[in-house]
Chains A and B, each alone.
Chain A
Amino acid sequence: MTTSLFVGVFAGAILSGTSLLYATLGETIVERGGIVNLGLEGVLLVGASVGFAVTVATKSAWLGVAAAAIGGGLTNLLFGWLVIVRKANQLASGLAIMFFGVGASALIGGPYVGAVIAGLPKWRPSFLAALSWVKPTTLFNYDILVWCVVPIAVLVWWILFQTRWGLALRAAGESPTAVFASGRNPAVFQLQGLLVGGVLGGLGGAHLSLSLTLTWAEGMTAGRGFIAIALVIFSKWHPIRAIAGALIFGGAEALQLQLQARGAEISPFLLDMIPYVLTLLVLLAWGGAGRLAAPASLGRTFYGSE
């Protein structure tokens, strides 16, 4: 029984896209507050390693997910302490956090390499399992992190655009001075945004280690944190468009592997470039338009509250 290319790519896109979407949503919240966190890769790694370590130690993937979320949140708060409290340069601090995450995750995960875990339980609604074209695939047989990711994207949209807190956070990203003048401290909203963003990044890492691969390996995110940062631009800082972005990029990765499995007479090295060529094409197509959507004070340090 073979599945069609479309079904195979779609199924693969959902599996690879889930961790990307969590990371992208997290970074979207952070950047809406005017902060660029280039350390997202490190946040994902901390989430993946902490989640795996706690799952092995407690034999509970649920506790692993919770620990990954906390680990991601704390890593982002550390970043927040650097760039908001200490007012360090955001780009340099982000790279420092990335290296910190690489090292810390290697240390945390080291003793647990090779451990065998059951992973997050998967569940497929029985009416979907009965469909003949679904049954032999991975479609709709998902753990809670996959099932929740789109609702969470909608929730992030609602929080950002429909709540008072979201308005304040976005205002901090556009003009922290205005927020400050209105009697509120933009740093508080930015730190809260970083915490939520870190929690989402941690969940993305947890999906990689606790569901998709069931292993921890050093540097296992393989650049997904950076792809997520590109996805934030792709989706023009909008959580709903991020869903499409994550699916397209997850699908590009799945497509090249599916094409190989179908014996496409194309060099595997060329196929491997598909996701990156796609990134270039998207940036070309978007051109300067992305700039207009970016929060006006993105990446700037706010000194006004001193």
Chain B
Amino acid sequence: MKRLGLVGLLLVLAAFLMVPPAFAASTPQLIIGAIYVGSVNDYGYNRSFHDALTEVAKNLPGIKLLEAENVPESADAEPVMENMIQQGAKLIFPTSFGHQEPAFNVSKRHPAVYFYHAGGWMQSANFGNYFGNTQTAWYPMGVAAGKMTKSNKLGFVIGIPIGFAVGNVNAFELGARSVNPKVQTIVVVTGGWSDKAKEAAAANALVDQGCDVVAMHVDSPATVIQTVEARGAMSIGFQSIEARVLAPKGWITGLGFTWASFFTDVAKSVIAGTFKAQSVHQGLEKGGMVAVAPFGASVPTNVRKLVTDSVASVANGFNPFTGPITDNTGVVQIKAGESWGGDKMGDFSWYVDGVVGKVK
């Protein structure tokens, strides 16, 4: 159903892309192409990449950006990238999970063009992958929520309970419990990453249940944050740290992706001719891929300090998923002395003790 609209948009985009550059006087030293699955104005995932590339263009001289929005996660993405390459793009960032295979196909045809794909696993001499470790980063968010809540009930709206989203919820509850042993996190699943009306209803249901802090893992946090704000509850954002403008009263803090420093390094390596395709995963560490948003005005100094300390400890390697950890049915899932990290982050099929909800 979405396809025809996208094809129409693509045609329009393609028409724009085929117009020759108006001022070819100063030749850029590197042309970077980026494709997004949605719009870059979503205060969410796509926006985070656009912001990062804008920063790269500011950091390095002579960078030219070619960006295409609403690029489908199918073979239709290939001509968009081919077109960018014809315009001289030497570095391409396919940013959605489903762009992986089309981008990999294009990379095989153009060995001298370099690719870095977000969230996948495929790799070759000119094709690398990267992503942010959000799970551990949700722990300090839980600390913030656990301190700010008065009802000891936190809400979490998630689109689909995939392992990564469940891991985010788990770290959130573990962080909240670390400062407030009575706190619960109630999960509501909407069944899709972008069903706005259900997101509004889910947020309302959580506030109805007495949740006074609501977090979310959906494509764009805008609807949940604004619904919660209108009900007079507080929110913790996700995907883009710019989302704070949506909740002038209830904003606590949030997590966003920050790719700028990684992208800058990659761009430099392409310019210097030292590009190396790797699999890069970073979290809250300085210059890493996940960053904490500024605090809202209502967050007191002592809470800010606790959260900042927690961010620092996670950045220095503290792993919240260190046993013993029991799930919410009483089964020990991570034994004492063991810990889950890296590849295991997508494997969560259970909620930690204190989370109200069922994965399956």
Contact = CB atoms under 8 A, between A and B. Distances in A.
Nearest to A253: B201
Interface string A265-281: 11111001000000000
B205 A12 contact: yes
B70 to A, nearest CB: 7
A99 B201 contact: no
B186 A208 contact: no
A238 to B, nearest CB: 25
A301 interface: no
B12 interface: yes
A257 B206 CA distance: 9
B78 to A, nearest CB: 21
A60 interface: no
Contact of B1 (A112, A219, A272): A219
Contacts of A219: 1-2, 5, 194
B2 A2 contact: no
Interface string B324-347: 000000000000000000000000
Q: Classify chain A: how many residues form its interface, as a range.
A: 35 or more
Contacts of B204: 8, 11-12, 15, 138
A111 to B, nearest CB: 8
Nearest to A258: B205
Contacts of A116: 245-246
A239 B223 CA distance: 31
B200 A212 contact: yes
A208 to B, nearest CB: 6
Given A220-B196, A222-B198, A1 B5 contact: no
B117 to A, nearest CB: 23
Contacts of A110: 9, 39, 69-70
A261 B1 contact: no
B205 A113 contact: no
Contacts of B39: 110, 113-114
B209 to A, nearest CB: 4
Interface in A204-244: 208, 212-215, 217-222, 224
A213 B12 contact: no
Interface residues of B, number: 54
Interface in B190-212: 190-192, 194-202, 204-206, 208-211
A231 B200 CA distance: 22
Interface stretch (A100-108, A168-176, A190-198): A100-108
Interface string A79-103: 0000000000000000000110011
A98 B2 CA distance: 11
Contacts of B358: 265-268
Contact of A15 (B188, B200, B246): B200
Select the residue from A3, A214, A261 with max chain B CB neighbours within 10 A: A261
A8 B205 contact: yes
Contacts of B6: 106
Given A16-B197, A106-B9, A116-B246, A215 B223 contact: yes
B226 A261 contact: no
B4 A217 contact: no
Given A102-B2, A263-B186, A15 B201 contact: yes
A220 B222 CA distance: 13
Interface stretch (B20-28, B40-48, B135-143, B297-305): B40-48
Given A212-B200, A268-B161, A268-B191, A114 B4 contact: no
A224 B201 CA distance: 14
Contact of A103 (B4, B196, B220, B356): B4
B189 interface: yes
Given A11-B208, A268-B189, A217 B5 contact: no
B323 interface: no
A98 B4 CA distance: 11
B357 A260 contact: yes
Nearest to B209: A261
A113 B39 CA distance: 7
Contacts of B252: none
Contacts of B197: 16, 19, 208, 212-213, 220-222, 224
A143 B326 CA distance: 46
Contacts of B9: 103, 106-107, 110
A213 B199 contact: yes
Contact of A258 (B190, B192, B208, B226): B208
Given A8-B208, A107-B9, A267-B358, A257 B226 contact: no
B220 A114 contact: yes
B209 A208 contact: no
Nearest to B1: A102
Interface in B202-255: 202, 204-206, 208-211, 219-220, 222-223, 226-227, 231, 245-246
A103 B194 contact: no
B2 A114 contact: no
A55 to B, nearest CB: 14
Given A106-B5, A114-B222, A217 B196 contact: yes
A2 B209 contact: yes
B155 interface: yes
Nearest to A265: B358
Contacts of A107: 5, 8-9, 12
22 contacts: A2-B208, A7-B208, A11-B204, A15-B200, A102-B1, A107-B8, A107-B12, A110-B70, A112-B41, A114-B39, A213-B200, A215-B196, A217-B42, A219-B1, A257-B190, A257-B198, A257-B202, A258-B205, A260-B187, A261-B208, A262-B209, A263-B186
Interface of B: 1-2, 4-6, 8-9, 12, 38-39, 41-43, 47, 69-70, 155, 161, 186-192, 194-202, 204-206, 208-211, 219-220, 222-223, 226-227, 231, 245-246, 356-358, 360
Closest 8 CB pairs of A and B: A114-B41, A113-B39, A103-B5, A268-B189, A106-B5, A263-B356, A213-B196, A261-B205
Given A99-B1, A138-B204, A260-B188, 10 more contacts: A102-B5, A114-B222, A137-B208, A215-B226, A217-B219, A217-B220, A218-B5, A222-B196, A254-B201, A261-B205
